[in-house]
Structure 1
Amino acid sequence: MTPTPPPFPVTRPRRLRQSAAWRRLVGETRLHPAQLVLPMFVRENADAPLPIGSMPGVQQHSLESFRRELQRAAAAGIGGVMLFGVPEQKDAVGSGATDPDGILNVATRIAADEVGDALVVQTDLCLDEFTDHGHCGVLDARGEVDNDATLARYRDMALAQAAAGSQLLGLSGMMDGQVAVIRAALDEAGFTRVALLAYAAKYASAFYGPFREAVQSSLRGDRRTYQLDPGNRREGALEVALDVAEGADIVMVKPAMSYLDVLADAAASSPVPVWAYQVSGEYAMIEAAAAHGWIDRERAIDESLQSIVRAGADAVLTYWALEAAERWAR
């Protein structure tokens, strides 16, 4: 005989969704301010903060507004700040990146002095903000990025940033061997406590456009010879494995939302923490849609962050770090 089916559903998952209290109790992915890192742009010789048109609510900071925002970040209990410099002068080798009085190193000293005990002070270690051609490295006679010559510049940048007080260097240039070269340079110079965040799986994405406005990029051409092809998943895993083997303390997937599969792969295989960068284009799209009334802005922000953490990110670099942390505390 055919068994008689029960008159009611045997399994009722909705029991655990019936109230806000239930949903909170059984939630699988939780967000906390300590998981968030705020990227900050500091502009040389700025008298006041300057708004970035394609990133509503984000500014190029003056040193005065930078100090105020650092204190706000510390009070909000976020995990750290990632600093980017916007220099007035650029040249072919990015001299400003290694100048102790260059804007990024000045900003780093300020951050280390004012909030270094409350936040992890992090610095972008890449030449693109400082070169007149806008590439992440130095160019050879053919106008192509010279990997090994660039490593020599990165080595000097690492020492300058460590001396300025950076606690975590964000290696975002995607040069082969950059982690190993920088780790060796830091250790030889006695900066053994300075950690390395490897932008391991960084893709040649269409979502970086607003960032280039934020740092006033001079880029000519594209970065496809050193950033990953957006269609390559296994290559992302390879880059993560290489950077871990070279001594990275943390590895990064960038961008975040379009690469959640790569992020999940990294989280499943990496023995070190895995972070993700919610990039400028992701930020700009949500802000633009919300400004038109097409989506619920706060729900979209939280859902986007939750998706990144759900995929495996231990921390997220996001331009909403302060807003989200302060709102969650209410």
Structure 2
Amino acid sequence: MRNPASLPLDLQRDDTRTTPALSEFGRELHAGLSRRAKSISPKFFYDVEGSALFDRICDLPEYYPTRTELRILTERAGDIAAQIGPNAEIIEFGAGSLTKVRLLLDALETPRRYVPIDISGEHLGAAAERLRADYPQLAVQPVAADYTMPLVLPAPGEGAGRRVGFFPGSTLGNFTPDEALAFLQLSARLLRGGGLLLGVDLVKDPAVLHAAYNDAQGVTAAFNLNLLRRANAELQTDFELDGFSHAAFYNAPMQRIEMHLVSRRAQSVTLDGRRFGFAEGETIHTEYSHKFTVDGLRALAEKAGFTPTAVWTDPDRLFSVHWLQAPAAQ
């Protein structure tokens, strides 16, 4: 056997450390740090602290997507409700704090059930309790799960209308193009006979995009760095948070924001007994946020099996909300 000290830094193991069996987060971080270009899925942003930080991001003056989408949902609520119809069951993917769905529920005629799906179970449970208190006639059935994976939804309730997916916030932009198509294909199968109400961010002036992801208060930076704090707390890693910086930029040819954590110096981190080396300037890619054109999104939805119908935008065409008709029920 070779002496471990002679191995490359990222292959050395510290056998004096003992860690519990890795969680999904741990397994994916281990795989992501093992890649030549290090990365981790943005779904792991959303522990309790990360979810709270994202709620703060949504209120920032530079971050236009939330308030713009809320404006569209408010102003077009009647038109949206007419597309959905009465007695609907609403399935929200990546539900978060359940703010936007309230506008939808208020506009709908006798909605029967609301099924919010989110990976952060604790945050979701607290938000669902608040919603139950405000909508006592509505059945609220939260599901703590990864909505990008195959799902088994509760059977439709007696007398239920259409099953409608709700996917606001341009979260679709966090996926690669292939992942976005796969998600829409999965949704089209789940929502047969109903439809999907989808919010996506639009291509625009890069300066507006840069400001939205590099806010003056540093909340987005804290949100990004919270991934490392979470890893230290849950996985017993030893990331030094002051050793990494937040970086976000717009890749115009790919029409996407890219977010990274940049190593400020040569250093190493231990996870599950394995040491991973970072060169100065090396990054962990943490998020894509793809931007869309209206026609491009409609073409993608059609490829996934939906029939695009109505689309609503704000006057400045910063953001768009789409009604996508799902295939007929089998």
Compute the TM-score of the two structures, normalised by the length of structure 2.
Answer: 0.29
RCO higher in structure (CA 8 A, sep ≥6):
2
Compute the TM-score of the two structures, normalised by the length of structure 1.
Answer: 0.29
More strand by share: 2
